[in-house]
Amino acid sequence: MISERVAEDALLVRFEDADLRAAAARAHALATVLEGEPDIEELVPGAASLLVLTRRGSADAVAAALERVETPMPPRSATAHEIAVRWNGPDLAEIAQLTGRTPSALIEVLTATPFTVAFVGFQPGFPYLVGLPPELHVPRLASPRTLVPAGSFAIAGPFAGIYPFASPGGWRLLGETDIALFDAQRVPPALLRPGDAVRLR
Amino acid sequence: MSVRVVRPGAFTTVQDLGRFGHRASGVPPAGAMDPRAARAANRLVGNPEDLAVLELTLSGPELVFARDSWIAITGASARGAFCLPAGEPLAVGRLSGGPRAWLAVDGGFDVPLVLGSRSTSPRGGFGGFEGRALRAGDVLPLGRASRPPGSAPAFLLERPVTLRVLAGAQAPLFSDSARTLFLESAWRVSPASDRCGLRLEGPALPSAAGGELLSEGVLPGAVQVPAGGSPILLGPDGPVTGGYPKIAQVIAVDVPLLAHLAPGDPVRFSRVSLDEALRLRECAC
């Protein structure tokens, strides 16, 4: 665990784990320890990091405290979500071919994969899911689509994700969901939160 | 009581001092791009500093208030508090002296609080007025004025030429020559700039790590360098996480200055120490 001052009131903690799922678990475990501490204003998980926003004037004290924190890995009972996907994405056939399997074999792998929400970003409520088998890590489109429909399930690199809102996007679209990922009237507004477990069907 | 939008202006949004505490759900802070100016506008009309104001961009709206109102404008086309009779149109027109202004009314623009703020969140389509910039025909509710107009220190419009920066989270990954080029070049603000980010035109900076890293939490004022080499200064509506290497971070007291940079404006960067940044902030009110 390496912590670095990146702004007056911000520390970035990086996790060096090679495996993104392990890094996400450590970031989440640290966030759980820090949450609610009086010197902490906000915690922003990343792919293998945690951005710690501190109360004005507290960054030095928090940095010192971080040195002493044991990075615990509590066997936490994660909130589990099962998400129904209609496997009709425009890139499904191409990605199946690219990864040397039939579309139905690709769907089988995806529905058998236990995903973890590493972080939420890009759009409000957009979950970055880790756990994708390495053989399904595919590059993004060289030129992004101008419009990806809301609810699209997609993969790119080591991540899978679901678009809460229609937007431009370069991820490979494998299916659609009806899940409401973001509700501004709810606290917290994102349905899928860092550390949550996700299964597709 | 309410206000009707006759013409919306180029890009007019409802903003307060920002929405905090929901970055982990992917919600950017939003808020007035220069919160000092929004606070000053509120003080001028006797409001608490955190009431919602309108943020105006390049050209202002035409508005008709249904009640007698105290109005103040800070930033570009600044105007101290004046009383506008009910029904008399207020046409702000093209802003002069800068790209942005903040318009306050006594009692504030009383849109609903969403996740603790009245600021507009265009990415999520919520907050402000229906989660979007104003359009002709919109009718916004006004709050009840509680205090007589006050006074505020004259809010001077600053056209920043130099932004002071700390080393960015990935500064060590950039070559010495890239860091030197960044600090010694005269940059220009690109027309493709908005509240999400200001794009800069200038020499192509050799990026680091192929221009792409694992996404991590980012803050307004971060200077990101994508593979193409044109830096992007992150604004208050930008995403909460990003994967572009960051060569620098604008210091806290200078982040509000991004609001006053217009397309075509020149901008330079100078490196300061963390101690200096902290000291400058203690001086700032």
- Residue A63: its H or E element: helix A59-68
Q: Looking at residue B148, what is its pLDDT?
A: 74
Q: What is the mean pLDDT of residues B170-191?
A: 96
Per-residue confidence at A2, pLDDT binned at 50, 70, 90? confident
- The yes-or-no verdict on residue A184 having pLDDT over 60 is yes
List of chain B residues whose C-beta atoms are within 8 Å of the C-beta of residue A53: 23, 219
pLDDT tens by residue, A31-76: 999 999 999 999 999 999 999 999 999 999 999 999 888 766 655 6
pLDDT tens by residue, B201-256: 999 999 888 888 899 999 999 999 998 899 999 999 999 999 999 999 999 999 99
Q: Are B7 and B62 in contact (CB under 8 A)?
A: yes
Beta bridge partners of B166: B249
- What b-and-e string marks burial along B109-121, b requiring 16 or more CB atoms within 10 Å of the CB? bbbeebbebbbbb
Q: What is the mean pLDDT of residues B49-63?
A: 98
pLDDT tens by residue, A6-40: 999 999 999 988 899 999 989 999 999 999 999 99
Report the mean per-residue pLDDT for chain B. 94
CB pairs under 8 A between A and B: 124
Q: Are B37 and B75 in contact (CB under 8 A)?
A: yes
Interface test with B, best of A120, A126, A193 (most B CBs within 10 A): A120
Which has the minimum average pLDDT: A145-159, A168-182, B120-134, B145-159?
A: B145-159
Q: Looking at residue B156, what is its pLDDT?
A: 62
Task: Please state the ipTM of this predicted complex.
Answer: 0.94
Q: Looking at residue B157, what is its pLDDT?
A: 66
CATH 2.40.100.10 placement within chain A: 80-200
Express as a percent the part of chain B with pLDDT over 70.
97
pLDDT tens by residue, A100-138: 999 999 999 999 999 999 999 999 999 999 999 999 999
Q: How far apart are CA B72 and CA B149, in angstroms?
A: 10
Burial of B284 (0-12, 13-18, 19+ CB in 10 A): exposed
List of chain A residues whose C-beta atoms are within 8 Å of the C-beta of residue B26: 120-126, 182, 190
- For residue A60, give the nearest of A70, A50, A52 by alpha carbon: A52
CATH 3.30.1360.40 placement within chain A: 2-68
Would you call A44 and B24 a contact, using CB atoms and an 8 Å cutoff?
yes
Q: How far apart are CA B157 and CA A13, in angstroms?
A: 37
- The yes-or-no verdict on residue B16 having pLDDT over 60 is yes
- CB-based contacts of B252: which residues, under 8 Å, 6+ apart? A7, A8, A9, B221, B277, B281
Q: Looking at residue B207, what is its pLDDT?
A: 85
Per-residue confidence at B147, pLDDT binned at 50, 70, 90? confident
Would you call B24 and A193 a contact, using CB atoms and an 8 Å cutoff?
yes
Q: Looking at residue A144, what is its pLDDT?
A: 87
- The yes-or-no verdict on residue B43 having pLDDT over 90 is yes
Report the mean per-residue pLDDT for chain A. 93
Q: Are B178 and B232 in contact (CB under 8 A)?
A: no
Would you call B114 and A7 a contact, using CB atoms and an 8 Å cutoff?
no
**CATH class of residue range A80-200:** mainly beta
Would you call A6 and B127 a contact, using CB atoms and an 8 Å cutoff?
no
The CATH architecture of the domain made up of A2-68 is 2-Layer Sandwich (3.30)
Interface of A with B (CB under 8 A): 4-10, 12, 14, 20, 31, 41-51, 53, 119-126, 128, 164-165, 182, 184-185, 187-190, 193-194
Would you call B24 and A124 a contact, using CB atoms and an 8 Å cutoff?
no
Of B121, B125, B252, the CB nearest to A7: B252
Identify residue A183 by its one-letter amino acid code. Answer: D
Q: Are B57 and B12 in contact (CB under 8 A)?
A: yes
